Amino acid sequence: MSAVAAAPPVIKVAALCGSLRKASYNHGLLRAAMEISKSINGLEIEYVDISPLPFLNTDLEVNGTYPPAVEAFRKKILAADSILFASPEYNYSVTGPLKNAIDWASRPPNVWDAKAAAIVSTGGSFGGGRSQYHLRQIGVYLNLHFINKPEFFLNAFQPPAKFDSDGNLIDEQAKEKLKEILLSLHAFTVVLQGKRE
């Protein structure tokens, strides 16, 4: 009688994009990641829209509750096992909308706490890399645990074309690297959850 291999645990990933533009290349990275995840056993990615969030203002916190859009966002982050950030680089750092979302979810109780995370980015020559390093610094305070390897920085403008006119990723080599990120995030999340148990 042959032993049946146990199915890998299902890891639920919340995917956030720092750009609000629907055809942004960073948004395209997340769409590609969601498509790739269908070929990875035990990985589910849900895109979480940060555009409805108001600017953080603690006056909006009433008796320990938050505005409905914030409450819904925080519940999605809390329910996720890990986080996938697509972080464009604005002025050498993370975007305002992404920082706003991070700050809302860090309000008590901090729903980022102890989760695994990964970052992908695309842009000019450095591919958004400076934003990634700032996001890692923010993650220290939030107690987010980022995978270290592999890293994903994609120069969107160096030939051949990496994206089509709708912002969809068409570069096969980049898709392979994106899959490596997802596999690493899945494995690291399983390890973290095992340690907690």
From residue 48, give the alpha-carbon distance in Å to each of 15, 123, 173, 174, 181. 6, 21, 26, 23, 19
- Interatomic CA distance for residues 10 and 24, integer angstroms: 29
What pTM value is reported for the model? 0.94
Q: Which of 139, 69, 65 is nearest to 99 (CA)?
A: 139
- Interatomic CA distance for residues 191 and 52, integer angstroms: 33
Q: Which residue has the tokens 């160096």?
A: 158
Asked if 9 and 42 touch (Cβ cutoff 8 Å), the reply is yes
Instruction: Give me the pLDDT at residue 3, please.
Output: 57
Q: Where are the domains of the chain?
A: 11-55+66-196
User: pLDDT under 70 in the chain at which residues?
Assistant: 1-8, 195-197
Domain covering 11-55+66-196 in this structure, CATH number:
3.40.50.360
Instruction: Give me the pLDDT at residue 1, please.
Output: 47
Instruction: Give me the pLDDT at residue 101, please.
Output: 98
Residue type, 58: T
Asked if 40 and 103 touch (Cβ cutoff 8 Å), the reply is no
From residue 102, give the alpha-carbon distance in Å to each of 7, 16, 67, 121. 33, 10, 15, 17
